[in-house]
Amino acid sequence: MAIAEEPTGHVMGHAMKRKEDPRFITGQGRYLDDIVLPRMLYMAIVHSPYAHARIKSIDASAALQLPGVHLVLTGADLDQMGLGWMPTMAGDREMTLAVGKVLYQYQEVAVVLAESRALAEDAAQLVEVEYEPLPVIVDPFESMKPDAPVLREDREQKDNHVFHWEVGDRTATEQLLRSCDVVVRQKVRFQRIHPAPLEPCGCIADFNKATGRLTLYMTSQAPHAHRTVFSMVTGIPEQNIHIISPDVGGGFGNKVPIYPGYVAAIVASLKLGRPVKWVETRTENLTETAFARDYHMEAELGATKDGVVQALKVKTIADHGAFDAAADPSKFPAGLFSICTGSYDFPNAFAEVDAFYTNKTPGGIAYRCSFRVTEASYLIERTMDVLADELGMDPAELRLKNFVPPEKFPYHSALGWTYDSGRYAETLKKALERFDYTKRRQEQDERRRKGELVGIGLSTFTEVVGAGPSQTFDIMGIKMFDSAEIRVHPTGSAIVRAGTRHQGQGHETTWAQIVGEELGLDPQNILVEEGDTDTAPYGLGTYASRSTPTAGAAIAMAARRIREKAQKIAAYLLEVSEEDLEWRDQKFQVRGVPSKAVTMQEIAFAAYTNLPEGMEPGLEATYYYDPPNLTFPNGAYLCQVSIDKGTGEVKVEKFLAVDDCGNVINPMIVEGQIHGGLTEGFAIAFMQEIVYDEDGNHLATNFSDYLVPTAWEAPDWETDRTVTPSPHHPIGAKGVGESPNVGSPAAFVNAVIDALSPLGIRHIDMPLTREKIWRALREHGIEE
C-alpha cells in the first residue's frame, strides 16, 4: 500500500509545478480528435457561399452515390424532427441547419456522413444547392433603418431590432452632464473578433440504440449545462446523456455555446446508430462559431474643471449577427457592460445598448471576458484619456484623483454593482514606480524634441467576475452556482471533482492546492477530475473568470465540511473533547499541547478503520456554492510605444502589468494567465478583426487572415501584483484569467494615441494597423 507522504506545510500561494503537465509535454494528452471509436463515421458540412439567400433546392443525390457515404441531412430533415431550430442562451433561437434561407456566409446548410474525413469532404463538394440571393446588411446602422429589409422573417417583430437594455438614471445623468464644467464625447468601436483557441471545436456523438444512451465527447467549457440543453432540445432523458469533455486545447469562450455541428452530429448518430465525429476546420471555427465584441459605443463624460468625474452616459449599438447567440446570463442581454464606470467614483451614470441583426455570423460571446466587461473597460479607459487630454492633465494624475477610495468599499456603483474590495491608488502607484513613470515621461519629452513619436499609455481597469449570485444570475434558468465533491481515501490521498472544466487554466493543480491547504494533505496525492457529467457534481463550467470565485470557493467549503467531521474523529483518537482541539500547522492538536496531535492522514485512515461509535464511515463532502457577490479584480497596466513614421509600424518598447486578484493560489499559474491574456490583448489592439465586405463575404476565414501573433511579434511582459483579498470569498481569491485581456487593449491604444497626441489626434479605432497610423500621420503632414 502506498502511503502518502506527510505534507511539508502551506501549499497555497506557492508556485507548484502543474500536475497536468507530464501528459501534455509528452504528447499523451487526450483531446477530442484523439479519440477514435469503432465504426465511427465522419461528418463534413456544406456551407452557404451567400450571406443572405433563399434556398431553392438541395440535391444530394450525387453525394449519396459515392461509395462510403451514408447520409446527408438538411435543415428540412431536421425541421421534420422538430430540430430545425434550437434555442440560444440569449433567449433567441437559431437555425440548426439552414431552414428555407441562409442568413450569413458559411452558414451550415447540410451535413454529410461518410467513412472517412476526406470522403465526407469529397461528398460535401457534390451537394448541389440552388440559392436565390437576397439583399445583404452588414452594418447595424443600416439594419436599424425603418426601411431596411427584415432579416428574421421567422419573428413576429417585423424589424431588425433585437433588444433595448438600459441601466442607471438617465434624467439625473443628463442633468448633471449639462452642469459639468467639461464634457468630452467619444465614439469608440470594439471590433468583431474571435477567440480562436488552437484546438478547434468538435464532438463525437455516440448513440447506443441498445442502452438508449448518448455518449457525447465534446470540446465543452460547460459540460453539465450542455447536457441539460441537449436533453431539452432532443428530448433524450438527461440521465441518458453522458458528456465527456476531454482535454481541451484552449477555449476562451469559444467552447461555451452549442453550435449546429454538435446537434447535427447527434441527430446523425441517432439515425445511423453509429458514432459520428465532427471536428471543425479552422475556417469553420472562424466563420461559424461565435464571434465576440462588435460594439459601437459612444461615451459622454462630464467632469469639473479640475478633473473630478461627475457623470457618464453611454450609448451602444451592438451587432449580434443573424441570431442573438450571445452567451450571457439570462437577465443580462448586454452582459455585465454596466461595469463601464470602471475604477472611478461616478456620482451618476447611465448606459443603454440596442442590438440589431445583420447578415453575419451569430454570437456575441464572452471571449476571455466576463460578458461584455472588455468592451466596458476599454470604453472607460479610453474615455478617461480623452478627458485627460481635454484637461491637459496627466492621465495617471486624473486617475488617482478619481479612484474609488479604499474606505468606500464595499462600494455601490452608480450602475448598481457592489464592488467587494480594491486599493486602486496603491496598485497604480506601485505600477508607476516600477515603470519609472516620471523618468519615462521626461525621456519621452526629450525624444519628442528629436522628432520621435513616443507614447505612454495607462489602463487602470476594474473587472467584475465570478457569475454569480443565484438571485440574479442564471443561464436558461439554471442558477450560476458551482460545485465540488471531495473524497478522502483511507491512505490520505483524495479525489476532487468540480463542475468546472479547465482548458489550460491549471485546475488540476490549483484545486489540489486549495484542498491541500484546507486539509493538510499533500497536493501531489490529490487527483482532480473535471469534465465528466456522470461523475462530477453539477456545475456551470469554466468561462468568465468564474472558476476560482465559484468552484474554487466550493472546494474550500467542501474541504471545511470534511474538516468538521475530521475534528470529531480527531477528538476520539486523542481522547479529548472536540472543543479542546485546534487546527494548527495543518493538524488537529490539543490546545497548548503541540505534541498531542493527529494529522489528516491519520484521521482519514481512522475514518475507514477506527470510528467513534455511531459515526457514519468515510470522509467526503459535496458543496454547492452560491456566491454572495461577484469579485472585482483590478489592475494597473502601463505601456510604452514608439512609431515608425515611414510605415506606421508600432513597437511596444515596454509593458508592465500590475494585477490585483486578491489572494493568489499559485503565482506561477497566475503569471502565465497574465502573459497569455496580454498577448491576446496585443493581438486585438494591433492585428485582429473579422471583416466583412459589403456583400457579406467573411474576409478572415483562416489563420492567414485572422492573425495570431507569434513569439516574434509578441512583446516581452513584465508583471507584478498587489493583494487585496475578496472579503466574501472563502479563501479571499478573485478571478484573474481575463484581466489581461480586459485591461490591456486600452493600455496599448492609449500609448499609441499618446504618441500621436502632439498632432491633435484623440482616437483611432482598433485594430491599430500600420495603415491606420500611417493615414493619421500623413493627414497631419508627417512623412518620413
Amino acid residing at 556: A
Cell of 47: 456551407
Q: Which helix (H) or strand (E) holds 430?
A: helix 424-435
Q: Is 710 in the site for another protein (CB under 8 A)?
A: yes
**Considering 221, 513, 589, 673, which one is annotated as catalytic?**
221
The total number of residues shown for the chain amounts to 784
Q: Is 198 in the site for ligand FES (CB under 6 A)?
A: yes
| Residue 179 partner contact from another protein, ligand FES, none using kind-dependent CB cut-offs of 5 to 8 Å | none
**Considering 369, 530, 563, 639, which one is annotated as catalytic?**
369
Residue 226 C-beta: closest distance to another protein, Å: 19
Residue 330 burial (CB count, 10 A):
16
Whether a cis peptide bond, with omega within 30° of 0, leads into 237 is no
Crossing angle, helix 424-435 and helix 395-402, to 10 degrees? 160
Residue 252 C-beta: closest distance to another protein, Å: 7
Q: Is 593 in the site for another protein (CB under 8 A)?
A: no
As a whole number of angstroms, the distance between CA 749 and CA 130 comes to 46
| Residue 333 partner contact from ligand FES, another protein, none using kind-dependent CB cut-offs of 5 to 8 Å | none
Q: Is 252 in the site for another protein (CB under 8 A)?
A: yes
Q: Is 505 in the site for another protein (CB under 8 A)?
A: yes
By three-state DSSP, how is residue 366 classified?
coil
Q: Is 677 in the site for ligand FES (CB under 6 A)?
A: no
Residue 530 C-beta: closest distance to ligand FES, Å: 17
**Which CB, 24 or 608, lies closer to ligand FES?**
24
As a whole number of angstroms, the distance between CA 215 and CA 207 comes to 6
The CA-CA-CA angle for residues 400, 401, 405, to 5°, reads 75
Q: Which of 250, 490, 667, 727 binds ligand FES (CB under 6 A)?
A: 250
As a whole number of angstroms, the distance between CA 542 and CA 366 comes to 12
**Considering 381, 485, 602, 738, which one is annotated as catalytic?**
738
| Residue 27 partner contact from another protein, ligand FES, none using kind-dependent CB cut-offs of 5 to 8 Å | another protein
Q: For the segment 642-681, give every residue that binds another protein (CB under 8 A).
A: 646-647, 649, 668-669, 671-680
Best CA proximity match to 716, nearest among 758, 678, 670: 678
Q: Is 246 in the site for another protein (CB under 8 A)?
A: no
Report the relative pairing of strands 108-114 and 69-74 from DSSP bridges. antiparallel
Report the relative pairing of strands 128-133 and 309-319 from DSSP bridges. unpaired
738 is catalytic: yes
Cell of 237: 432523458
368 is catalytic: yes
Q: For the segment 104-123, give every residue that binds ligand FES (CB under 6 A).
A: none
**Considering 274, 368, 546, 563, which one is annotated as catalytic?**
368
Amino acid residing at 745: P
**Which CB, 269 or 688, lies closer to another protein?**
688
Q: Is 504 in the site for ligand FES (CB under 6 A)?
A: yes
Q: For the segment 610-629, give every residue that binds ligand FES (CB under 6 A).
A: none
Q: Give how far the C-alpha of residue 199 lies from the chain's centroid of Cα atoms, to the nearest Å.
A: 16
Whether a cis peptide bond, with omega within 30° of 0, leads into 468 is yes
Q: Give how far the C-alpha of residue 316 lies from the chain's centroid of Cα atoms, to the nearest Å.
A: 21
| Residue 87 partner contact from another protein, ligand FES, none using kind-dependent CB cut-offs of 5 to 8 Å | none
| Residue 352 partner contact from another protein, ligand FES, none using kind-dependent CB cut-offs of 5 to 8 Å | none
**Which CB, 393 or 707, lies closer to another protein?**
707
Q: Which of 4, 7, 12, 16 binds another protein (CB under 8 A)?
A: 16
Cell of 606: 481512522
Q: Is 29 in the site for ligand FES (CB under 6 A)?
A: no
Compose the 258-297 pattern: x for residues touching another protein by CB under 8 A, - for all others. Answer: -----------------------xxx--------------
564 is catalytic: no
By three-state DSSP, how is residue 157 classified?
coil
Residue 198 C-beta: closest distance to ligand FES, Å: 4
Residue 401 C-beta: closest distance to ligand FES, Å: 40
DSSP type of residue 66: S
Q: Is 245 in the site for another protein (CB under 8 A)?
A: no
Q: For the segment 683-702, give every residue that binds another protein (CB under 8 A).
A: 687, 691, 699-700, 702
Residue 8 C-beta: closest distance to another protein, Å: 11
Residue 458 C-beta: closest distance to another protein, Å: 20
First to last CA, the chain: 75
**H-assigned helices in 629-692:** 667-686
DSSP type of residue 579: G
Q: Give how far the C-alpha of residue 677 lies from the chain's centroid of Cα atoms, to the nearest Å.
A: 11
DSSP type of residue 284: H
Task: State the residues that interact with ligand FES by CB under 6 A.
Answer: 198, 250, 504
* Residues carrying an active site annotation: 221, 368-369, 738
